[in-house]
């Protein structure tokens, strides 16, 4: 028994040492007095004088083997942006897969860069592009356990096919990244290449396939001394005109065959501090969101629908508080279910002969705001407040009309806190939820 414990302990120590050793370091170059044109050419003097790193190692299919094709990258920065240049050499440039897809669909030959700008070894911001110029971006947290593809930062990239392969040039504004004002100038860094025809994934910083987690094994990006977080302010007003035609229904005064509506509102994002972002929306419109699939529910439980509304989806990982551990239906048991905000009105009156009723399809969200962020000491915070309108339906009884309440004025609140300990190996969290209806 004592010998078994010794062998087990030795295995853990050796595995930890294997993960800890060989951390690569790259020093970014500062540029000043010049601007880079993002065209995919990488021909400016700043790129020629930059330090280009390479020697990528396969992650798949042969973990630990040298990559079959050469890849090099360089990182530059100024007071406002981080620039990344990647050269994906290919001995058969005519075989480069540069397919055109929708954004965030990772298909074809690709390159990606990931920044752990918090340097907490748990969170990373990914920016990628395929050879056809299709972008992808997302955030992973909890050392790779959660992936948030709804994150939609503003950044710029161009790709170019060359006689030696293909290359990508990126400009990532510092406003899109979160980092400490008193940072030591060191971030986590990983650069990834996908060679589609070989189903090969190669990394700059090697990650053993059996490793638990991902971000804590990143290499280091050094030399970022002097950069300062920029306060992010984005305001986007909108207006929507809607016209609808449908089949008339004889005798129903609400089914006239056509309807129209006008609405407007404001969406915004404001950086409160270096680590906290406030998102807000006034009278949001989710008309462009993909419709839910039709389902027939004969059970006593409500149907679970995936959240697809941008305001509630972005940054949703901080509000994840699963009540059960498991896959399938059990994975849907979360303490906070955001689809109840702005739900379909629940009341529908019993109708007699010659009575007709018109009810809103959804409860209007008058306004909502949320604050999310993570401090350098590993404290993640999330607060969400939303107010939905009192909704009324209209009843027509032989020409006499009256209003009937179908949903009360409601206030929703969610507070979430999570603290990382022992370099993210242990976390402690709590959540508070509140729903108040004016009935």
Is residue 322 one of the residues assigned to a domain? yes
Contact 399, 391 (CB under 8 A): no
Q: Kindly tell me if the per-residue pLDDT of 10 is higher than 70.
A: no
Kindly state whether residues 207 and 305 are assigned to the same domain: no
Please list the helix, strand and coil fractions of the chain in percent, rounded to the nearest 5, in that order.
15, 40, 45
Kindly state whether residues 218 and 274 are assigned to the same domain: no
Which is more confidently placed, 6 or 419?
419
- Which range (19-23, 49-53, 125-129, 235-239) has the least confidence? 19-23
pLDDT above 70 covers a percentage of the chain that reads: 92
Which residues share a beta bridge with 365? 388
- Which range (12-16, 82-86, 90-94, 322-326) has the least confidence? 12-16
Contacts of 380 (CB under 8 A, 6+ apart): 318, 373, 374, 416, 417, 418, 419, 420
Kindly state whether residues 183 and 47 are assigned to the same domain: yes
**Helix or strand run (H / E) with residue 261:** strand 258-271
Residue 218's pLDDT is 97
Cis peptide, bond prior to residue 61, ω within 30 of zero: yes
Between CA 416 and CA 380 the distance in angstroms is: 8
- What mean pLDDT comes out for the span 315-341? 73
- Which range (219-228, 278-287, 290-299) has the least confidence? 290-299
* Predicted confidence (pLDDT) per residue in 68-126, tens digit: 999 999 999 999 999 999 999 999 999 999 999 988 889 999 999 999 998 888 889 99
Domain span including residue 72: 23-222
Contacts of 163 (CB under 8 A, 6+ apart): 93
| Local structure of residue 299 (DSSP, 8 states) | S
Token duo for residue 298: 């004969």
Is residue 271 one of the residues assigned to a domain? yes
Q: Kind of pairing, strands 165-173 and 365-374?
A: unpaired
Between CA 15 and CA 9 the distance in angstroms is: 10
Task: Name the pTM for this structure.
Answer: 0.72
Contacts of 332 (CB under 8 A, 6+ apart): 304
Kindly state whether residues 332 and 278 are assigned to the same domain: yes
Kindly state whether residues 201 and 280 are assigned to the same domain: no
Q: How confident is the model at residue 182 (pLDDT cuts 50, 70, 90)?
A: low
Q: Kindly tell me if the per-residue pLDDT of 423 is higher than 70.
A: no
**Helix or strand run (H / E) with residue 162:** strand 156-162
Give me the residue label for tokens 């839910």: 292
Contact 189, 124 (CB under 8 A): no
How does the average pLDDT of the chain come out, rounded? Answer: 87
Contact 53, 74 (CB under 8 A): yes
pLDDT above 90 covers a percentage of the chain that reads: 54
52: CATH: 2.60.40.1190
| Nearest CA among 344, 436, 346, 339 for reference residue 387 | 436
Over 101-143, what HEC string results? CCCCCCCCCEEEEEEECCCCCCCEEEEEEECCCCEEEEEEEHH
**Helix or strand run (H / E) with residue 436:** strand 426-438
Is residue 114 one of the residues assigned to a domain? yes
Kindly state whether residues 208 and 311 are assigned to the same domain: no
Q: Kindly tell me if the per-residue pLDDT of 18 is higher than 60.
A: no
Q: Kindly tell me if the per-residue pLDDT of 153 is higher than 60.
A: yes
Residue 358's pLDDT is 92
Strand blocks (E) in 65-109: 71-77, 81-89
Residue 417's pLDDT is 93
Is residue 134 one of the residues assigned to a domain? yes
Residue 3's pLDDT is 46
| Cα angle for residues 60, 62, 64 (degrees, 5° grid) | 95
Is residue 6 one of the residues assigned to a domain? no
Residue 342's pLDDT is 92
Kindly state whether residues 272 and 354 are assigned to the same domain: yes
Length of the chain: 439
Count of CB atoms situated within 10 Å of the CB of 406: 20
Contact 221, 187 (CB under 8 A): yes
From 167, 194, 222, give the residue that closes a domain.
222
Kindly state whether residues 414 and 352 are assigned to the same domain: yes
* Predicted confidence (pLDDT) per residue in 123-148, tens digit: 899 999 999 999 999 999 878 877 88
Tell me the range of 256-270, 301-315, 400-414 where mean pLDDT is highest. Answer: 400-414
What are φ and ψ of residue 174, in 5° steps? -65, -20
DSSP helix/strand/coil, 260 = strand
Phi-psi region of 204 (alpha: psi -120 to 50; beta: other; left: phi over 0): alpha
Kindly state whether residues 218 and 115 are assigned to the same domain: yes
- What mean pLDDT comes out for the span 147-156? 86
Kindly state whether residues 194 and 276 are assigned to the same domain: no
Count of CB atoms situated within 10 Å of the CB of 137: 21
Residue 382's pLDDT is 92
| Local structure of residue 429 (DSSP, 8 states) | E
* Predicted confidence (pLDDT) per residue in 185-214, tens digit: 899 999 999 999 999 999 999 999 888 889
DSSP helix/strand/coil, 328 = helix
Is residue 98 one of the residues assigned to a domain? yes
If one counts the domains in the chain, the total is 2
Kindly state whether residues 170 and 272 are assigned to the same domain: no
Between CA 343 and CA 410 the distance in angstroms is: 11
Between CA 320 and CA 194 the distance in angstroms is: 30
Between CA 235 and CA 151 the distance in angstroms is: 17
Is residue 170 one of the residues assigned to a domain? yes
| Nearest CA among 74, 174, 185, 24 for reference residue 119 | 185
Kindly state whether residues 216 and 271 are assigned to the same domain: no
What are φ and ψ of residue 241, in 5° steps? -110, 130
């Amino acid at each position: 028994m004592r010998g078994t414990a010794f062998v087990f302990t030795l295995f853990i120590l050796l595995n930890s040492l294997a993960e800890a050793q060989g951390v690569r370091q790259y020093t970014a170059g500062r540029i000043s007095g010049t601007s880079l044109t993002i065209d995919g050419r990488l021909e400016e003097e700043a790129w020629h004088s930059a330090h280009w790193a390479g020697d990528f190692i396969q992650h798949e299919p042969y973990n630990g083997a040298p990559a079959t094709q050469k890849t090099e990258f360089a990182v530059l920065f100024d007071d406002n942006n981080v620039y990344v240049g990647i050269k994906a050499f290919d001995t058969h440039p005519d075989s480069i897969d540069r397919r055109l897809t929708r954004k965030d669909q990772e298909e074809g030959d690709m390159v990606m860069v990931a920044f752990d700008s918090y340097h907490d070894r748990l969170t990373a911001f990914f920016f990628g592009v395929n050879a056809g110029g299709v972008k992808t971006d997302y955030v992973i947290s909890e050392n790779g356990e959660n992936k948030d593809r709804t994150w939609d930062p503003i950044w710029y990239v161009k790709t170019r096919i060359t006689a030696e392969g293909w290359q990508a040039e990126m400009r990532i504004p510092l406003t899109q990244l979160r980092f400490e004002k008193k940072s030591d100038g060191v971030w986590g860094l990983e650069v990834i290449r996908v060679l589609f025809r070989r189903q090969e994934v190669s990394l700059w910083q090697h990650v053993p396939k059996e490793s638990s987690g991902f971000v804590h094994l990143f290499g280091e990006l050094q030399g970022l001394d002097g950069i300062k977080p920029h306060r992010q302010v984005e305001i986007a007003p909108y207006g929507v005109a809607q016209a609808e035609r449908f089949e008339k229904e004889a005798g129903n005064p609400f089914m006239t065959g056509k309807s129209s509506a006008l609405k407007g509102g404001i969406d915004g994002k404001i950086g409160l501090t270096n680590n906290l972002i406030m998102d807000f929306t006034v009278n949001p419109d989710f008309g462009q969101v993909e419709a839910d699939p039709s389902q027939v529910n004969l059970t006593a439980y409500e149907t679970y629908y995936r959240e697809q509304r941008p305001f509630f989806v972005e940054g949703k990982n901080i509000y994840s508080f699963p009540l059960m551990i498991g896959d399938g239906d059990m994975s849907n048991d979360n303490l906070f279910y955001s689809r109840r905000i702005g739900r379909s009105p629940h009341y529908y009156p019993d109708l007699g002969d010659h009575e007709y009723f018109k009810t809103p399809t959804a409860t209007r969200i008058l306004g909502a705001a949320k604050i999310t962020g993570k401090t350098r000491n590993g404290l993640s915070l999330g607060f969400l407040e939303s107010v939905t309108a009192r909704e009324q339906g209209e009843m027509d009884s032989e020409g006499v009309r009256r209003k009937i309440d179908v949903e009360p004025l409601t206030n929703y609140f969610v507070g979430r806190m999570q603290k990382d300990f022992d370099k993210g190996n242990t976390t402690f969290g709590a959540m508070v939820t509140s729903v108040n209806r004016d009935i």
